[in-house]
């Protein structure tokens, strides 16, 4: 008899107490990160399906054929939904980032297999998700980001002009995360196909909702030049985190996704995805939800998202001092300051987000971004709309207006002023950003001087984002790494 260190009920009570500090995952108050169908039956079924496969190891679907069967069903469902034929095959991965990374890895393998010389290049609009920055970094590709216009729209001609023989993969988004832009998939994929280059559609966020968004140009596997597509089950598939699909056109092309080796004394390793041993729980949950909802259920939920998105767009358009960026496609949008009105009527989108939070809704702050041609995309606030939003529409739209009224005319945090206000290490950092040793200790000093060493993030996020805008990218990444690393470190 093993003596337990604590009673299970006490442990679960402690977990519940810890969970009470979390942002709400249900109810529509958090407008990013979580995708709430608003249907308790979906979550209950997902939990039961996860429990049913809890002990399995997704490392080997031949030992656990239930995993292979569920994966066949899920990839088959997505293939039909996204317009793929029999030549399209794929995998369930742990999330959008893994799907994107594997699309890049696949393209890199095929680039080398084709005997192409040199370092492969990954070509994308600057609005592409950061997962592709990570993929290029991990897999050794040069990242070539073509500037987008002020509304976040990709430059199809500029993309085509940049398609040289060293390009292993062209990536487009359906839609992009920052501004919800549906990239011109047909035009860019055709240009890539004409040059024999693979083209990936990142539909991580749109893949299970845009198929039900009428009136769009073609953007999925129906476009002949599209060679792969990613769609996240843990976004608009309403599955718990840890599930996405990557589909690839052509078995030979897709085999580049795998890693296989017998060159060690252990079991032969054959991995379709990045992990070795892995949970089958998110797959089982996603599989069960697909069976529960079917195409018609997903269509209904998308229709709800669309109604809510239109209402929110109308509200945002009616708020003096704020503007919607571009013409969003799908259930997400970004708002920016409307520079066309008098300064005392303008609304800084980050102050607005902080104020919205005090009215019960959490939106996501996005920093201003300088592209390589020097053009600057404005700071914005991002909202992701899910089916549950419809039940909260009056409160949300009301809060949007109240938040706007509270901060109209308040100037945005000036990044340079913020840095200038720092003492000691900050001044030193400014004077000699390159010379300061990039250690955990100096990072803590700088964060301390900026008032950011209090464990976690402060209540108001506008100053933090202004800091991100002010600092060189590598310095911001260094400090944010420290900030996040310390959050999960055991106490001293
Ligand atoms: C377009 C797009 N691609 C990739 C990702 C990365 O997905 P994940 O956070 O699941 O890794 C996201 C996440 O929001 C996304 O919107």
Same domain? For 84 and 227 the reply is: yes
Ligand 1 atom with the smallest distance to the CA of 100 is: 4
Residues 205, 332 contacting (CB under 8 angstroms): yes
Residue range(s) defining the domain that contains residue 264:
47-289
Distance 445 CA to ligand 1 centre (A): 33
Q: Whose CA is nearest to atom 8 of ligand 1?
A: 96
Residue with tokens 């998105």: 309
Ligand 1 atom with the smallest distance to the CA of 241 is: 10
Q: Whose CA is nearest to atom 7 of ligand 1?
A: 96
* Alpha-carbon span 334 to 331, nearest angstrom: 11
66 occurs within a structural domain: yes
Same domain? For 130 and 262 the reply is: yes
Distance 317 CA to ligand 1 centre (A): 27
Same domain? For 380 and 448 the reply is: no
How confident is the model at residue 415, as a pLDDT? Answer: 82
Q: CA gyration radius for the chain?
A: 23
Boundary residue ending a domain (385, 407, 429): 407
348 occurs within a structural domain: yes
* Alpha-carbon span 356 to 322, nearest angstrom: 13
* Alpha-carbon span 404 to 426, nearest angstrom: 32
Tokens of 82: 């996204």
Same domain? For 211 and 172 the reply is: yes
Ligand 1 atom with the smallest distance to the CA of 235 is: 10
Same domain? For 180 and 228 the reply is: yes
Distance 6 CA to ligand 1 centre (A): 39
Same domain? For 220 and 90 the reply is: yes
Ligand 1 atom with the smallest distance to the CA of 206 is: 1
Q: Whose CA is nearest to atom 10 of ligand 1?
A: 96
Boundary residue ending a domain (381, 407, 433): 407
β 322-324/332-337 pair status:
antiparallel
Residues 108, 102 contacting (CB under 8 angstroms): no
Whichever domain contains 226, its CATH number is: 3.40.640.10
Residues 478, 438 contacting (CB under 8 angstroms): yes
CA dihedral for 331, 362, 321, 304, sign (positive or negative): positive
Same domain? For 120 and 172 the reply is: yes
Q: Whose CA is nearest to atom 9 of ligand 1?
A: 96
Tokens of 318: 């009616």
* Alpha-carbon span 182 to 172, nearest angstrom: 8
Distance 203 CA to ligand 1 centre (A): 9
Ligand 1 atom with the smallest distance to the CA of 175 is: 1
Same domain? For 461 and 339 the reply is: no
Same domain? For 349 and 282 the reply is: no
Work out the end-to-end distance of the chain between its first and last CA atoms, rounded to an integer number of angstroms. Answer: 34
Residues 335, 269 contacting (CB under 8 angstroms): no
Distance 327 CA to ligand 1 centre (A): 20
* Alpha-carbon span 345 to 411, nearest angstrom: 10
Distance 402 CA to ligand 1 centre (A): 31
13 occurs within a structural domain: no
Distance 7 CA to ligand 1 centre (A): 39
> Three-state SS across the chain?
CCCCCCCHHHHHHHHHHHHCCCCCCCCCCECCCCCCCCCHHHHHHHHHHHHHCCCCCCCCCCCCHHHHHHHHHHHHHHHHHCCCCCCEEEEEECCHHHHHHHHHHHHHHHHHHCCCCCCCEEEEECCCCCHHHHHHHHHCCEEEEECCCCCCCCCHHHHHHCCCCCEEEEEEECCCCCCCCCCCHHHHHHHHHHCCCEEEEECCCCCCCHHHCCCCCCCCCCCCCCCEEEEECCCCCCCCCCCEEEEEECHHHHHCCCEEECCCCCCCEEECCCCCCCCCHHHHHHHHHHHHHHHHHHHHHHHHHHHHHHHHHHHHHCCCCEEECCCCCCCEEEEEECCCCCHHHCCCHHHHHHHHHHCCCECEEECCEECCCCCEECCEEEEECCHHHHHHHHHHHHHHHHHHHHHCCCCCCCHHHHHHCCCCHHHHHHHCCCCCCCCHHHHHHHHHHCCCCCCCCCCCCHHHHHHHHHCCHHHHHHHHHHHHHHHCCCCC
Count of CB atoms within 10 A of residue 334's CB? 29
Same domain? For 232 and 190 the reply is: yes
388 occurs within a structural domain: yes
How confident is the model at residue 431, as a pLDDT? Answer: 66
Boundary residue ending a domain (345, 372, 407): 407
- Ligand 1 is surrounded, with C-beta below 6 A, by 95-97, 100, 129, 131, 173, 177, 202, 204-205, 232
pLDDT per residue, tens digit, the chain (492 aa), is 899 999 999 999 999 999 999 999 999 999 999 999 999 999 999 999 999 999 999 999 999 999 999 999 999 999 999 999 999 999 999 999 999 999 999 999 999 999 999 999 999 999 999 999 999 999 999 999 999 999 999 999 999 999 999 999 999 999 999 999 999 999 999 999 999 999 999 999 999 999 999 999 999 999 999 999 999 999 999 999 999 999 999 999 999 999 999 999 999 999 999 999 999 999 999 999 999 999 999 999 999 999 999 999 999 999 999 999 999 999 999 999 999 999 999 999 999 999 999 999 999 999 999 999 999 999 999 999 999 999 999 999 999 999 999 999 999 998 877 777 655 666 666 666 667 889 999 998 888 888 777 666 667 899 889 989 988 899 899 999 999 999 899 987
Backbone angles phi, psi at 376, to 5 degrees: -115, 125
Distance 96 CA to ligand 1 centre (A): 5
24 occurs within a structural domain: no
Same domain? For 118 and 134 the reply is: yes
Same domain? For 270 and 313 the reply is: no
From 32, 129, 231, 286, mutation site for ligand 1 pocket: most ligand atoms within 8 A of C-beta: 129
10 occurs within a structural domain: no
Tokens of 425: 């290490």
12 occurs within a structural domain: no
Number of domains in the chain: 3
Residues 6+ apart with CB under 8 A from 371: 126, 145, 147, 148, 377
How confident is the model at residue 175, as a pLDDT? Answer: 98
How confident is the model at residue 244, as a pLDDT? Answer: 99
Whichever domain contains 378, its CATH number is: 3.90.1150.10
Residue 196's Cβ-count burial label (10 Å; 0-12, 13-18, 19+) is exposed
8 occurs within a structural domain: no
How confident is the model at residue 416, as a pLDDT? Answer: 78
């Amino acid at each position: 008899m093993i003596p337990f260190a604590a009673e299970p009920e006490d442990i679960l009570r402690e977990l519940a107490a810890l969970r009470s500090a979390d942002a709400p995952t249900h109810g529509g108050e958090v407008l990013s990160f979580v995708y709430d169908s608003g249907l308790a039956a979906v979550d209950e079924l997902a939990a039961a399906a996860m429990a049913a496969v809890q002990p399995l190891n997704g490392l080997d679907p031949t030992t656990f054929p239930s995993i292979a069967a569920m994966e066949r069903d899920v990839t088959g469902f997505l293939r039909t939904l996204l317009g793929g034929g029999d030549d399209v095959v794929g995998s369930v991965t742990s999330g959008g980032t893994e799907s994107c990374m594997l699309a890049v890895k696949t393209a890199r393998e095929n680039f080398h297999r084709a005997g192409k010389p040199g370092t492969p290049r990954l070509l994308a609009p600057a609005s592409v998700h950061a997962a592709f920055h990570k993929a290029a970094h991990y897999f050794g590709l040069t990242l070539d980001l073509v500037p987008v216009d002020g509304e976040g729209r990709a430059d199809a001609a500029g993309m085509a002009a940049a398609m040289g023989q060293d390009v292993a993969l062209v990536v487009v988004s359906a839609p992009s995360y920052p501004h919800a832009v549906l990239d011109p998939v047909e035009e860019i994929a055709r240009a890539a196909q004409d040059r024999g280059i693979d083209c990936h559609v990142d539909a991580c966020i749109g893949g299970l909702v845009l198929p039900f968004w009428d009136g769009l140009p073609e953007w999925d596997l129906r476009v002949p030049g599209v060679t792969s597509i990613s769609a996240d089950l843990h976004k608009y598939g309403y599955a718990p985190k840890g599930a996405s699909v990557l589909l690839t056109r052509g078995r030979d092309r897709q085999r580049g996704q795998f890693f296989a080796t017998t060159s060690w004394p252990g079991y032969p390793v054959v991995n379709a995805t990045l992990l070795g041993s892995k949970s089958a729980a998110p797959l089982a949950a996603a599989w069960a939800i697909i069976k529960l909802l079917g195409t018609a259920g997903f269509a209904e939920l998308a229709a709800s998202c669309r109604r809510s998105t239109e209402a929110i767009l109308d509200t945002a358009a009616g708020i003096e001092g704020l503007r919607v960026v571009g013409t969003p496609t799908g259930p997400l949008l970004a708002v920016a300051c409307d520079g066309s009105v008098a300064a005392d009527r303008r609304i800084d989108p980050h102050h607005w987000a902080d104020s919205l939070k005090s009215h019960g809704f959490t939106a996501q702050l996005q920093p201003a971004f300088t592209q390589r041609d020097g053009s600057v995309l404005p700071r914005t606030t991002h909202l992701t709309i899910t089916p549950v939003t419809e039940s909260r529409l009056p409160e949300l739209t009301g809060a949007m207006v109240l938040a706007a009224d509270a901060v109209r005319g308040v100037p945005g945090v000036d990044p340079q002023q913020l840095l200038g206000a720092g003492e000691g290490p900050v001044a030193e950092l400014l004077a000699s950003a390159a010379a300061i040793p990039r250690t955990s200790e100096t990072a803590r000093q700088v964060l301390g001087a900026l008032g950011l060493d209090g464990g976690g993030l402060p209540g108001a996020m506008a100053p933090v984002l202004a800091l991100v805008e002010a600092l060189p990218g590598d310095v911001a990444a260094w400090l944010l790494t420290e900030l996040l690393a310390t959050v999960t470190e055991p106490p001293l």
